[in-house]
């Protein structure tokens, strides 16, 4: 069974904005399903620590984008990656 999610398929997208808690819960569940839950926990801890020590908005936004891309890679990629409505990566 494949757990890869194609982000370029509109059927896999939702306009509903989830809370951070719910988003993390779903990402951890997906990571558990594909066997990389411990790696996901380590990634979240790493970027939480970086964001906690960050003092300006530009730097926070940049760290968040790197974290999003790292999570995207960990979960197996799939199609296009949009952050804040902007395309930041497209699968070739």
Mean pLDDT of the chain: 86
Choice between 69 and 12, residue whose per-residue pLDDT is larger: 69
**How far, rounded to the nearest angstrom, does the alpha carbon of residue 39 sit from its chain's CA centroid?**
13
Instruction: Name the pLDDT band for 5 (thresholds 50, 70, 90).
Output: low
pTM: 0.76
Q: What angle do CA 20, 28, 32 make, to 5 degrees?
A: 170
Q: What percent of the chain has pLDDT over 70?
A: 87
Write down the domain spans for the chain: 37-77
pLDDT per residue as tens digits for the range 27-53:
999 999 999 999 999 999 999 999 999
């Amino acid at each position: 069974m494949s757990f890869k999610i194609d982000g370029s398929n509109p059927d896999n997208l939702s306009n509903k904005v989830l809370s951070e808690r719910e988003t993390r819960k779903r990402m951890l569940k997906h990571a558990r399903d594909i066997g990389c839950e411990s790696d996901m926990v380590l990634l979240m801890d790493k970027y939480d620590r970086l964001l906690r020590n960050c003092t300006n908005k530009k730097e926070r936004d940049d760290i968040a984008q790197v974290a999003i891309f790292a999570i995207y890679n960990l979960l197996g990629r799939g199609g296009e990656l949009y952050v804040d409505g902007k395309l930041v990566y497209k699968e070739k």
